Amino acid sequence: MWYQKVIQIFKIKDLRNKILFVLGIFIIIRIMANIPIPGIDASKVKEIFEQFQLLGVMNVFTGGALERFSIIMLGVGPYITSTIILQLLTMIFPRLEEMYKEEGEEGKKKFEQYGRILTVPLGLLQAFAMITIFSRPEQGVIGDLSLLAKISSIVTITAGSLFLMWLGELISEKGIGNGISLLIFAGIIADFPRNILQLIAIYQDPESSIPLYALLIFFATSLLVIAAVTMINEGRRNIPVSYAKRVRGRRVYGGSSTYLPLSVNPAGVIPIIFALSILTFPSMIANFFIGSEGFLGNVAQYITGFFNNPWLYGALNFILIFVFTYFYTLITFEPDSVADNLKKMGGFVPGIRPGQSTAKYLNFVLNRILPMGALFLASIALMPSIIQGITRLTVFSFLLGGTSIIIIVSVVLETVKQIQSQLEMRDYDSF
């Protein structure tokens, strides 16, 4: 039974400490999410978030920190954006690609260090844009701040984002699961109880025109999406691999058969996070130039209108997720390297010659299953708009309808697998 597993987890001191460590960091984040920067007019905040759809998306991923204009209002966005920029630069600069792919762990550590350094200017730029946009008289969210107060707020917001980045790395190092993914997961889950109560209040309101069937459709669709996400995330294309027999002295090694699993969704939730960061950045910069005269102001107005159009925004989100699924898979999965490792270990795919022929076969199989995973991710991202159009429910549409649910399910499955592997490892040691 599931409760026996929970009891078993908390009986193991090391595993229990890791889980409590992660939960402790979540508590710290929730405290920080409720510490606002000075000069906020809370009455204006709701109006702004109703006008700009993209702000609502960003707010979900920061656990309401953006809506409260807290010191961690940017979340881990600057760090993710810096990672995207560096990975895109690997396609332009061969030296950067060599560092990331060929220099092993040392190269990856150096690559990650560059990402941390780039996070600082990106965080300062985004914090400056946010403070400037919401300090305008037409927005009225932030009052009249002195120059010193503005600089202090910008530095504090950037420091909050860097602190979250550090906490994410601490979780990866000393806790369970991927730290950055867990921070985003915690942000999405944070407002879950409030959204449930809000949904109940809307339905019980006598002036509300939402029928019961709309709620039933909404929750039924949400359950179907959860089932679909679980099925696709767990989907594998198993490629049979055999190992030749090797004789060393009196012992015979190899001669066994196994499988090389290729995931239907090899990129996980990364393409969704990448797409969200790309969509957020230009809109934020465009808002900074709204109100300017001439060509620059017209371009900013056009970009802002484009991102506030749900259909255009959804189409661009669909395309970006589809493209990033291919892009990230090409970076993380190298058929040539896998084929070379199989050859060195005496493994081969039955009917396929080792070496380059195996690499071509793996690339062929990957190109057949990857479009399905990319299409699935991109389609799920459009679910909030579809559910909202059918049920007229704007509350919860981001949480149980689209990209958020993929992140929730994927992070939960990944974390459960890590916990399960640690339990199995300890059972093996005991045996």
Tens-place pLDDT, residues 150-204: 888 889 989 999 999 999 889 888 878 788 888 888 887 877 777 677 667 766 6
Dump pLDDT digits (tens) for 109-158: 888 888 899 999 988 988 887 787 777 666 666 767 778 888 888 899 89
Q: Is the pLDDT of residue 248 over 70?
A: no
Domain end, chosen from 140, 162, 190, is at 190
**Domain-located, residue 8:** no
pLDDT band at 400 (very low <50, low <70, confident <90, very high): very low
Can you tell me the mean pLDDT for 405-422?
79
Q: Do 176 and 248 belong to one domain? A: no
Of 312, 324, 240, the closest CA to residue 283 belongs to 312
Amino acid occupying residue 174: K
Cβ 198 vs Cβ 373: under 8 Å: no
Cβ 142 vs Cβ 36: under 8 Å: no
pTM for this predicted structure = 0.74
Q: Do 181 and 210 belong to one domain? A: no
CATH number of the domain to which 69 belongs: 1.10.3370.10
Q: Do 159 and 277 belong to one domain? A: no
| DSSP calls for 350-412 | TTS-TTHHHHHHHHHHHHHHHHHHHHHHHHHHTHHHHHHHHH---TTHHHHHSHHHHHHHHHH
Domain end, chosen from 162, 190, 218, is at 190
* Domain ranges, residue 217: 203-431
**Domain-located, residue 4:** no
Can you tell me the mean pLDDT for 398-416?
70
Cβ 398 vs Cβ 256: under 8 Å: no
pLDDT band at 289 (very low <50, low <70, confident <90, very high): low
pLDDT number for residue 61: 67
pLDDT number for residue 103: 64
Dump pLDDT digits (tens) for 315-349: 888 888 888 888 778 777 778 878 888 888 778 88
User: Can you state the angle between helices 147-174 and 13-33, rounded to 10 degrees?
Assistant: 170
Terminal CA-to-CA distance of the chain, rounded, Å?
A: 22
Q: Both tokens of residue 263? A: 């995931």
For residue 419, which phi and psi values (nearest 5 degrees)? -65, -45
**Domain-located, residue 76:** yes
Q: Is the pLDDT of residue 217 over 80?
A: no
Q: How many domains does the chain have?
A: 2
pLDDT averaged over the chain?
A: 76
Q: Which has more confidence, 357 or 406?
A: 357
pLDDT number for residue 120: 92
Q: Do 264 and 239 belong to one domain? A: yes
Can you tell me the mean pLDDT for 385-395?
59
pLDDT number for residue 389: 59
Q: Do 185 and 209 belong to one domain? A: no
d(CA 419, CA 149): 45
Find the helix or strand (DSSP H, E) in which 121 lies: helix 104-134
Q: Both tokens of residue 9? A: 């987890």
Q: Do 254 and 390 belong to one domain? A: yes
Q: Do 177 and 208 belong to one domain? A: no
Cβ 282 vs Cβ 384: under 8 Å: no
Q: What share of the chain is helix, strand, coil (3-state, %, to 5)?
A: 75, 5, 20
pLDDT number for residue 137: 65
